[in-house]
């Protein structure tokens, strides 16, 4: 993830604060909403990390074939990552 969890928590608190001030949401328990928003943000922001891990596992399985055919690891990484992002309907 490109952001620290502390920063994501800050972003969540600020987002909730602005939503409440704009009267887009109503809540008496802002701490609970802050935590839920922070968890959702962390989950979304860590999606790319999970996709990268899955790409590494896939490419490890095809490592021998890639060596035989002379395929470039960075190029294959990018192609597999794009396919997985499409599969998960992720915007990276």
Q: What is the pLDDT of residues 21-77, one digit of tens each?
A: 999 999 999 999 999 999 999 998 899 999 999 999 999 999 999 999 999 999 999
Tell me what pLDDT residue 64 has: 92
Which has more pLDDT, 2 or 7?
7
* One domain, residues 59 and 36: no
Is 11 within a domain?
yes
* One domain, residues 20 and 39: yes
Is 92 within a domain?
no
Q: What is the pTM of this model?
A: 0.71
| Count of Cβ atoms closer than 10 Å to residue 57 Cβ | 9
Tell me what pLDDT residue 1 has: 77
**For residues 13 and 8, what is the distance between their CA atoms, to the nearest angstrom?**
9
**For residues 53 and 64, what is the distance between their CA atoms, to the nearest angstrom?**
19
Domain that holds residue 9: 5-45
* One domain, residues 38 and 62: no
How many domains does the chain contain in total? 2
Question: Which runs of consecutive H residues, i.e. helices, occur in 1-92?
Answer: 5-21, 30-45, 47-61, 63-69, 73-87
- The residue count for the chain: 92
* One domain, residues 63 and 78: yes
Confidence of residue 2 (pLDDT cuts 50, 70, 90): confident
CB 51 within 8 A of CB 78: no
């Amino acid at each position: 993830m490109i952001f620290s969890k502390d920063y994501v928590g800050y972003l969540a608190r600020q987002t909730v604060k602005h939503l409440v001030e704009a009267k887009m949401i109503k809540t008496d328990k802002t701490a609970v909403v802050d935590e839920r928003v922070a968890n959702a943000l962390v989950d979304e922001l860590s999606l790319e990390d999970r996709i990268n891990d899955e790409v590494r596992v896939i490419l490890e399985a095809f490592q021998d074939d890639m060596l035989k055919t002379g395929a470039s690891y960075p190029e294959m990484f990018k192609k597999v990552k794009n396919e997985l992002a499409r599969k998960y309907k992720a915007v990276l």
